[in-house]
A and B are shown apart, each in its own frame.
Chain A
Amino acid sequence: MTTQAYFRPRSLAEALGLLDEHGPAMLVMAGGTLAMPLINKGVSRPEKVMGLRQAGLDYVRSVDGGVHIGAAAPLSRVRASSGVPLLAEAVKNVAGWAVQNMGTAGGNLFAPPPAGDLAVALLALDAQVKLASHRRGERLVPLAEFFTGFLTNCLAPDELVVEIQVPKPIGKTVLLKYGRLYTNTPAIVSVAVRLLARNGRVNDVRIALNAVGPHPFRARQAETTLRGAALHAEIFAAASSTAAAECEPFTDPIASADYRRRMVNVFVQRALAQAAA
């Protein structure tokens, strides 16, 4: 059926109220870069749609050295104003300029792997997402706990993602996206690494991956093997191999599962080496 109603709330409160009133059958979108293609094709046929562009969620605010990003902040604004180089790197990997103008930080969290370039950077930075509902208020969830499966997450049917909070980044960060093209391409594998080194050893590390599992995730086993270890190519290679073993890659027209797994092993150690340099 053709859409009967398109709501454009002017505040978060209004948006949450509409979601409460119309329920989860109402499709929520911000930039529309994920939802509108499906609607254009007739794959998605929502009777009601809510657009969040006007709901006051498009801000990018520096907070205590970190940044709070409204869920409907355009990716291009994140690239220009977040002050966090890793986030700018991540946005550069998203499609082209016009998509970066339209797509949003919160919306990108709903992109089906291998798409979705922002989450690896956010995971490496220990980001949290603020969720809100009309009846139950707000809650903060670590992004690492947000994703539960392929296109599933911990959002309740009456909740919206309203903000992404990134603490002050410490350590050296590296983002590597490997695709079949240099730009405007889905990932074969995306790796984001944040490394805190002290006295030639790994003090702490984050390794985040996308396109090699049902959702973006941290390679926790690989991280564990690295803590306290020396900054050494062999150590990085072993961690990379662990990361490759703990991922759950899929085969799609872009790449086979086998190739993706082998590329995890290449790019994790490359990212670690760059972070340690």
Chain B
Amino acid sequence: MSEQTLNVVGQSVLRRDGLSHVTGKTQYIDDIQFPDMLYLKMVRSPLHHARIHGIDFSEAEKVPGFVRAFTYKDVPKNIYTILCLIGVGPDEEPVLAEKEVLYKGEQIAAIVAQSEEAAIEAAAQVKLDLEELPAVFDVEEALKPGAPIIKPWGTNYFVYEGHHCRRVRFGNIEDGFAKSDYIVEGCYEPRPIEHAPLETTGCVAKPEANGRITVYTNTQALYFSMDNTALILQVPFNKLHFVGGSVGGAFGGKVDVIVEPIAALAAMHTGHPVKYLYTREEEFHVSSTRVAYRIYFKDGITKDGHIVARQVTSYADSGAYNRHTPYAVTKHAANISGPYFIPNVHIDAHCVYTNRVPTSAMRGFGVTSASFATELQMDKIARTVGMDPYEIRLLNAYRNGDMRPYQKVVGDATLVEVIKSAAEMVHHPLGERFQAMTSWDRANSPAQPEPVSPEKRS
């Protein structure tokens, strides 16, 4: 066997942008200046749910430095949804609100002016004629008969291939409960979390002499943003040049395509670079948050600690629009049974719309919230059965050869070994039976690979 020379694995590799960051040379969006740059400020809905009867720009137009106002009529394809590019539909979010607003802070009209102060002043002078409508803020309230319906297709939930929720069915849940010695119920409600990156969301769109538009943006999703912008503006993709990669923190909060389309439209129409950068208030009030969930568990447990039945009804609060939440709920449904082997599983995961700020991605979206719930529930089960929390997890952990509730056979499990290592690291003693467990101890487990001897590792 030839000697391996490793240049990266096993070495400390310094960040390629580290030097730029420590010398202050990294260019963030607010560092970008052009002499003829204009500033975009958004007129936002002050109400949670309202019909728009009119917008009066007459006072705004008088503000010195005012350049232009944009409404939905200026947007070639106003209704979109960011994940349309991976087949998640339907299009349901407006770039600028048309006849209705569905959340407090929703974008209604864009004001462009020669200075930031003028844009703020002009935006403040826009008069909105709004008719307040009943609003709904709770996921279960939103699904009750008689709740105000806020989506155009007539329900307050996302439709998953014709169904009202994402469903996982495995085994027979009633048989599972019948075999149980304990029923353990729980309700877990992870709340929305604001990412609060130090750099706020924003972009600068600049029209170039050759007819292209350069968009400098701090999005995490450069291609999503570029492609969606092209679809919204109804221009060929190659008309746009997106420049990014320097993101002043995001954690999932800069994956929604929100600022680029309207800034690019404004640049196209005014012939000037246009900066649209959230204030800290906008970042807190209007930018997407982690999805909030309400998750009901009903588990059937045998007296020796096996989970033989798990029934979960979960409600995700998508807020007013899709963003990444329908996709998150799919992942959530796959993970809410936990990393455990359970022979009877019944999951209904709803993606519900309310008149709240749209929720979207945040670190491990869909799954983090599931883990929060499954592990609190596991501790509750441990207390009910009178078992050690590590040992009950080792008992139930999925092994190689197990079938997951969504019909995939496990072939790469290492959970048992990880739990045992964790117990060892914190000096938590495990019973002999549990110490002997491995991820390969099922009869139908694939063969365990040979461990690599230390000498063979480089």
**Which residues on A are within 8 Å of B, measured CB to CB?**
2, 41-42
5 example contacts (A-B, Cβ-Cβ < 8 A) are as follows A2-B117, A41-B279, A41-B281, A42-B120, A42-B124
For B115, give the chain A residue with the smallest CB separation.
A2
For A42, give the chain B residue with the smallest CB separation.
B120
Interface size counted on chain B using CB atoms at 8 A:
5
Interface string of B116-135 (1 = CB under 8 A from A): 01001000100000000000
A185 to B281, CA, bound (A): 19
Residues of B close to A41: CB separation below 8 A: 279, 281
For B124, give the chain A residue with the smallest CB separation.
A42
Residues of A close to B281: CB separation below 8 A: 41
**Which residues on B are within 8 Å of A, measured CB to CB?**
117, 120, 124, 279, 281
B125 → A minimal CB distance (Å): 13
For B120, give the chain A residue with the smallest CB separation.
A42
A42 to B41, CA, bound (A): 13
Sorted nearest first, the 5 A-B pairs with minimum C-beta distance are A42-B120, A2-B117, A41-B281, A41-B279, A42-B124
Residues of A close to B124: CB separation below 8 A: 42
A96 → B minimal CB distance (Å): 15
A2 to B120, CA, bound (A): 11
Residues of A close to B279: CB separation below 8 A: 41
B140 → A minimal CB distance (Å): 24
A219 to B117, CA, bound (A): 46
A67 to B48, CA, bound (A): 53
Residues of B close to A2: CB separation below 8 A: 117
A41 to B117, CA, bound (A): 10
A42 to B120, CA, bound (A): 8
For B279, give the chain A residue with the smallest CB separation.
A41
A2 to B117, CA, bound (A): 8
Residues of A close to B117: CB separation below 8 A: 2
A42 to B117, CA, bound (A): 9
For B280, give the chain A residue with the smallest CB separation.
A41
A41 to B281, CA, bound (A): 9
B351 → A minimal CB distance (Å): 27
For B117, give the chain A residue with the smallest CB separation.
A2
For A1, give the chain B residue with the smallest CB separation.
B121
A42 to B280, CA, bound (A): 13
A2 to B118, CA, bound (A): 10
Residues of B close to A42: CB separation below 8 A: 120, 124
A42 to B125, CA, bound (A): 14
A42 to B282, CA, bound (A): 14
A2 to B279, CA, bound (A): 18
A30 to B148, CA, bound (A): 51
A247 to B124, CA, bound (A): 39
A10 → B minimal CB distance (Å): 30
B41 → A minimal CB distance (Å): 10
A2 to B281, CA, bound (A): 20
A2 to B124, CA, bound (A): 14
For A37, give the chain B residue with the smallest CB separation.
B280
B260 → A minimal CB distance (Å): 25
A268 to B281, CA, bound (A): 36
A41 to B279, CA, bound (A): 9
A224 to B281, CA, bound (A): 45
Residues of A close to B120: CB separation below 8 A: 42
A41 to B120, CA, bound (A): 10
For A45, give the chain B residue with the smallest CB separation.
B121
A87 to B120, CA, bound (A): 41
A168 → B minimal CB distance (Å): 44
A197 to B120, CA, bound (A): 59
A99 to B308, CA, bound (A): 58
A85 → B minimal CB distance (Å): 35
A246 → B minimal CB distance (Å): 33
A10 to B279, CA, bound (A): 35
B3 → A minimal CB distance (Å): 51
A4 → B minimal CB distance (Å): 13
B122 → A minimal CB distance (Å): 12
A219 → B minimal CB distance (Å): 34
A2 to B115, CA, bound (A): 12
B117 → A minimal CB distance (Å): 6
A183 to B279, CA, bound (A): 25
For B281, give the chain A residue with the smallest CB separation.
A41
B63 → A minimal CB distance (Å): 11
A2 to B65, CA, bound (A): 14
A2 to B116, CA, bound (A): 12
A234 → B minimal CB distance (Å): 36
A228 → B minimal CB distance (Å): 49
A204 → B minimal CB distance (Å): 46
A213 → B minimal CB distance (Å): 27
A90 → B minimal CB distance (Å): 28
A195 to B417, CA, bound (A): 58
B124 → A minimal CB distance (Å): 8
A86 to B124, CA, bound (A): 46
B343 → A minimal CB distance (Å): 43
A105 → B minimal CB distance (Å): 28
